[in-house]
Structure 1
Amino acid sequence: MRANPPLFDAVVLAGGRSSRLGGIPKAGLLVEGTTLLERTCAALAGAAHLVVVGPETNGGRAMPGAPLFVREEPAFAGPAAALVAGLRAGTGRRAPWCAVVACDMPRVAELVDVLLAEAAASDDDASLVTFDGGRCQPLAALYRSDDLAAAVAAVLSAGTADNLSMRSLLASVRTRPVPVAPGTTHDVDTWADARALGIDVP
């Protein structure tokens, strides 16, 4: 249990095409009776400001954390553009940290707990990116908000974030890998992934 959890904002990316799922939105897939988006928002409900970049897929049900829903323009311009839209939708003063999380990881609560615990104990100014299966996952991360804002400003000053890679967007952000249990960041790209992760398959 975290004694002093850090103050953080959060941006959830939930607006991809889901082309390998036949266009069925990942956010609305069910695992143990809860949509992936609901699970993600519940894991991030402690955020000072919670923004979901993507369509509202909750059928009018209240979403944990009462997120603000926005869309990137144009739609489907990639995760970097979606992140920029989410950050620009924030209101008021920025929290010191900003969680950036894709909506399609069923074990999202575990990775959020690890990141927040690491941030609470951190004594340096690096952003924190989960490390799972031999690679870092930039869409399961806790960034220093000021560094993230500076990276976005630099990109926008030179043009647009449309179809930009996350690697390019975050090139100037100093990060530190945070190991998580194997499989914690496994996400849904195909129906085979969905079955393996215990997601209801239509």
Structure 2
Amino acid sequence: MSDSSMPSDAVSPVLPEYPEFSCAAVIVAGGQSSRLGHVPKASLSDGTSTLLDCALQAVRQASPRVVVGPDTLPVPSDVLLTREDPPFSGPAAAIHAGLERVAAQCEDSSTPAPKWCLILGVDTPRIAPAVQLLMRTAAVSDATTQPPLPEEDSPASEGFWGISEGIYQPLVGIYRYKSIRSVFSEGTTDASVRSFLRRLNPVSVKLSAQHTADVDTWEQAEQLGYTTSLWSSY
């Protein structure tokens, strides 16, 4: 499946009350799903929506939206699709690929780079309220003369990442686009996502465990109701 263009309403403000706020989104959707017997997470459905559908809906206000995964993923025409190189080289490599695809799209369309970029895994079907909270937190930080610090005497923060019940969520966050692109510019193959994100001194945003519940095992898939695979492999 080939990459497609940005949606025609891409110039509309993401948050009307913050008209200067702009945000892209990168969805990591190409892992091997080893704990699910290699059944693609993106394909799991509750009978109405797949996990991929849920992720795309959660970031529907972002532009451009980039899914990182195999070229067989069924994405809408207004969503870009790219792949980490080499395939299955980890989420850090996927984030790098997604950020570079955002840059290429902006260059091709002669549009400014977004101020912010959402990073989201494909396996959190109830994440939409958390995404809204992250976007509004980032927008408020733009409107504040003194940006928040992650802790006293630390460098200024370049983003926000979720924390739920004391557990950090590296694939649920929002970061200044230029900063995160720079941090993920090289050395990402089979690397730790968290090791790169820490360089951005992200501020923690408390998120509901209900919203961040993810699908890593069949037991979790059953708990969340996503047990039907709509395609068996990538």
TM-score normalized by structure 2? 0.77
Query: Is the aligned partner of 1:4 residue 2:36?
Result: no
Query: Is the aligned partner of 1:43 residue 2:55?
Result: no
Task: Name the aligned partner's letter for residue 190 of structure 1.
Answer: T
* Percent of aligned positions that are identical: 36
Give the superposition deviation at 1:31.
2.5
Give the superposition deviation at 1:2.
6.5
Query: Is the aligned partner of 1:18 residue 2:50?
Result: no
Q: Which secondary structure state, in structure 2, belongs to the residue aligned with residue 16 of structure 1?
A: coil
What is residue 95 of structure 2 aligned with on the other side? 83
Deviations 1:1-44 (A, max 9, x none): 96327310110000000111111100011135101111111111
The 5-angstrom pairing of residues 55-134 of structure 1 reads 55=70, 56-58=72-74, 63=76, 66-90=78-102, 91-92=105-106, 93-122=112-141, 123=144, 124=147, 126=157, 127-134=159-166
Distance in 2 (CA, whole Å) between partners of 1:22 and 1:182 is 25
8 Å Cα contact 1:2/1:117 also seen in 2: no
| Gap regions ≥5 residues in structure 1 | none
Point out 4+ residue stretches in structure 1 off by more than 6 angstroms: none
Query: Is the aligned partner of 1:187 residue 2:214?
Result: yes
Task: Name the aligned partner's letter for residue 117 of structure 1.
Answer: R
Q: Which secondary structure state, in structure 2, belongs to the residue aligned with residue 171 of structure 1?
A: helix
Q: Which secondary structure state, in structure 2, belongs to the residue aligned with residue 114 of structure 1?
A: helix
Total equivalences in the alignment: 193
Distance in 1 (CA, whole Å) between partners of 2:165 and 2:213 is 9
Q: 2:182 aligns with which of 150, 156, 160?
A: 150
Distance in 1 (CA, whole Å) between partners of 2:43 and 2:203 is 32
Distance in 1 (CA, whole Å) between partners of 2:46 and 2:207 is 21
Query: Structure 1 3/201 Cα, relative in aligned 2: closer, same or farther at 3 Å?
Result: same
Q: Which secondary structure state, in structure 1, belongs to the residue aligned with residue 55 of structure 2?
A: helix
Give the superposition deviation at 1:117.
1.7
Distance in 1 (CA, whole Å) between partners of 2:163 and 2:47 is 26
Q: Could you say which structure has the larger radius of gyration?
A: 2
Deviates more, 1:133-142 or 1:96-105: 133-142
8 Å Cα contact 2:95/2:184 also seen in 1: no
Q: 2:169 aligns with which of 122, 137, 152?
A: 137
Distance in 1 (CA, whole Å) between partners of 2:45 and 2:215 is 12
Distance in 1 (CA, whole Å) between partners of 2:47 and 2:134 is 24
| Gap regions ≥5 residues in structure 2 | 1-14, 107-111, 148-155, 230-234
Give the superposition deviation at 1:120.
2.1
Give the superposition deviation at 1:147.
1.6
Q: Which secondary structure state, in structure 2, belongs to the residue aligned with residue 34 of structure 1?
A: coil
Deviations 1:69-95 (A, max 9, x none): 111111110000000011111221321
Distance in 2 (CA, whole Å) between partners of 1:129 and 1:167 is 10
